[in-house]
Amino acid sequence: MFPALMLTQEGKATHAALAQIDAAQLPPGDVTVRVQYSTLNYKDALAITGRAPVVRSFPMVPGIDLAGVVEQSDDPAFAPGDAVLLNGWGVGETHWGGLAGRARVRAAWLQPVPRGLTPRLCMALGTAGYTAMLCVRRLEALGLAPGSGPVLVTGANGGVGATAVALLARRGYEVVASTGRADAHERLLSLGASRIVDRAELGSPGKPLQKETWAGVVDSVGSHTLANACAGTRYGGAVAACGLAQGMDLPATVAPFILRGVTLAGVDSVYAPMPQRRAAWDDLAASLPAEAIEAMAQEIPLADAIGMAEPLLAGQLPHGRLLVRVQEA
């Protein structure tokens, strides 16, 4: 028997509870992983609270991330004792996820823990850190380089934003962080931001074309914030869009794209091909020292995950990242 955060549904109401289950209840898969660490992401919090239809079938174990050790494998790519991690692939939505002591998943969804990282450090980064690196690599593939000019990071106090600030600063970029939380300024400056922009400056309707300011943008907010970011991007610059914290609408015009050659690049972390995933994780391992990763997340036990869902959705977490200790390594 092992602990699992289990979601059930009665009518339209979602109920979350900590339960004890056994391996016979796990869904089909090629590999069984003893989960050591998971995370609590925004999507997980939506699933736990039932605020959005994230979960497609019940009962469901949420948790879009997991890291641990292989216990049993029917695939030659993995053997018992291998340290592995998983992000996305519908886990925690359509297939039981990482907020349980065991997970049975498809081998194609797993990758080895990169050299230089541990399962715990991987989950301190989690999908947020991995997504941030996908965004940075995408901007660089589109021509962004240190010296290009200031790079804007929206939603900077969140998991994606804070990691993007740290990554860009360590790569030599001038980083401007946008947040609505005054208590986050000191932390963002310590991560490498050169200055802070209040999110109110970007979060309301703006002009179709604005002063050419940003050489690149990492946006996890969407809506008016993304529209204004595009409108203020320099000629030939690029914007990596990966989130919708403000909304999934895009109240913009084509002006920045056809008059300034701005590129709006969508970044998906859930179904990104494995070569992109491995490259991003290897880059994370090489870019951030362990102490920097440790500082990005607050660790909680699995038993506290349900109670932290509402504060996460309300933006009340000091770090923006929750590392969930499922069981001792």
Question: What CATH number should be reported for the domain holding residue 169?
Answer: 3.40.50.720
In a domain? residue 122? no
Per-position pLDDT tens, the chain of length 329: 999 999 999 988 999 999 999 999 999 999 999 999 999 998 999 999 999 889 989 999 999 999 999 999 999 999 999 999 999 999 999 999 999 999 999 999 999 999 999 999 999 999 999 999 999 999 999 999 999 999 999 999 988 999 999 999 999 999 999 999 888 899 999 999 999 999 999 999 999 999 999 999 999 999 999 999 999 999 999 999 999 989 999 999 999 999 999 999 999 999 999 999 999 999 999 999 999 998 888 999 999 999 999 998 887 877 668 999 998 54
Look up residue 313 and give its two tokens: 């959705």
Q: How far is CA 308 from CA 42, 61, 127, 174, 317, in A?
A: 11, 16, 18, 34, 9
Furthest C-alpha separation in the chain: 61
d(CA 247, CA 284): 28
DSSP class per residue in 143-201: T--TTS--EEESSTTSHHHHHHHHHHHHTT--EEEEES-GGGHHHHHHHT-SEEEEGGG
In a domain? residue 209? yes
Same domain for 133 and 90, yes or no, is no
Same domain for 145 and 230, yes or no, is yes
Look up residue 98 and give its two tokens: 């990482």
Please say whether the beta carbons of 112 and 84 come within 8 A.
Answer: yes
Same domain for 103 and 131, yes or no, is no
Please say whether the beta carbons of 61 and 101 come within 8 A.
Answer: no
Please say whether the beta carbons of 179 and 165 come within 8 A.
Answer: no
In a domain? residue 163? yes
Q: Would you give the DSSP letter of residue 205?
A: -
Same domain for 31 and 95, yes or no, is yes
The H or E element that residue 213 is part of is none
Domain of residue 200: give its range: 127-266
- Which CATH number characterizes residue 14's domain? 3.90.180.10
In a domain? residue 35? yes
Strands 13-21 and 2-10: antiparallel
Considering 266, 283, 316, which residue would you say is the last residue of a domain?
266
Overall domain count for the chain: 2
d(CA 125, CA 38): 10
Give the per-residue pLDDT at 329: 46
Same domain for 105 and 141, yes or no, is no
Same domain for 105 and 159, yes or no, is no
d(CA 63, CA 65): 5
- The residue type found at 168 is L
Same domain for 196 and 65, yes or no, is no
SS3 call for 279: helix
DSSP class per residue in 41-110: -HHHHHHHHTSS----SSSB---SEEEEEEEEESSTT--TT-EEEEE-TTBTTTB--SSBSEEEE-GGG-
Same domain for 199 and 86, yes or no, is no
The H or E element that residue 132 is part of is helix 119-141
In a domain? residue 161? yes
Considering 245, 266, 287, which residue would you say is the last residue of a domain?
266
Same domain for 84 and 54, yes or no, is yes
In a domain? residue 158? yes
Same domain for 169 and 231, yes or no, is yes
Same domain for 81 and 13, yes or no, is yes
Same domain for 101 and 133, yes or no, is no
In a domain? residue 287? no
